[in-house]
Amino acid sequence: MVKRAEEMLVSAGIKLPAAVTPFGAYVPAVQTGSLLFLSGMLPTVGHEPKFLGRVGKELNADEGAKAAYAAALNVLAVAKQHLGSLDKVSRVVKLGVYIATVGDVDQVKIADAASELLREIFGEDKISVRLVFGVASLPLGVPVELEVIFELADQ
């Protein structure tokens, strides 16, 4: 039997951070119909960056992957805060992975760190499309930002 997302969090021993509050005049999540849009999620603890710099300059791809994983934890935390339970997610529709880069870096490896966490929690049959590119800079000077759209099950 397939475990549901909340069970997976427990069995994977993942403790979600507190949901990050907005840095400006926006909200963390908006539900419209059966879609839940999330604001861009950064590798921060609260408003404090956990990683600073660009991949290919101050940081390498391994550090970029760790930053993507940290941002994905914030994705889960914000979704759970909004929904009450991650079990309401019926699909991860879109994952955008935007990486502050200097030169060419292993973008697939960095993006996979986020994708694989979402796959672990929601299951192989709920994985998303993905959009990945290198940007010039990110808010707060962090190396990675994630954009997620979830599909929600009928309530």
| Contact residues for a second copy, defined by CB under 8 A | 22-30, 32-35, 37-40, 91, 93-96, 98, 100-105, 107-108, 111-112, 115-116, 119, 127-139, 141, 145, 147, 149, 151
Please state the separation of Cα 12 from the chain's center in Å: 17
Q: How far is the CB of 11 from a second copy (least distance, A)?
A: 19
Residue closer to a second copy, measured from CB, 28 or 43: 28
Rounded alpha-carbon distances, angstroms, from residue 13 to 38, 60, 101, 110, 121: 24, 27, 32, 22, 11
Nearer to a second copy, 73 or 95 (CB): 95
Query: 57 by DSSP, 3-state: which?
Result: coil
Q: How far is the CB of 24 from a second copy (least distance, A)?
A: 5
User: Could you give the CA distance from residue 9 to residue 15 in angstroms, rounded to a whole number?
Assistant: 7
Contact 75, 81 (CB under 8 A): no
Nearest-approach distance from CB 85 to a second copy, in angstroms: 20
φ, ψ dihedrals at 8, nearest 5°: -65, -40
Residue 16 or 140 with smaller CB distance to a second copy: 140
Toward a second copy, which CB reaches closer, 1 or 125? Answer: 125
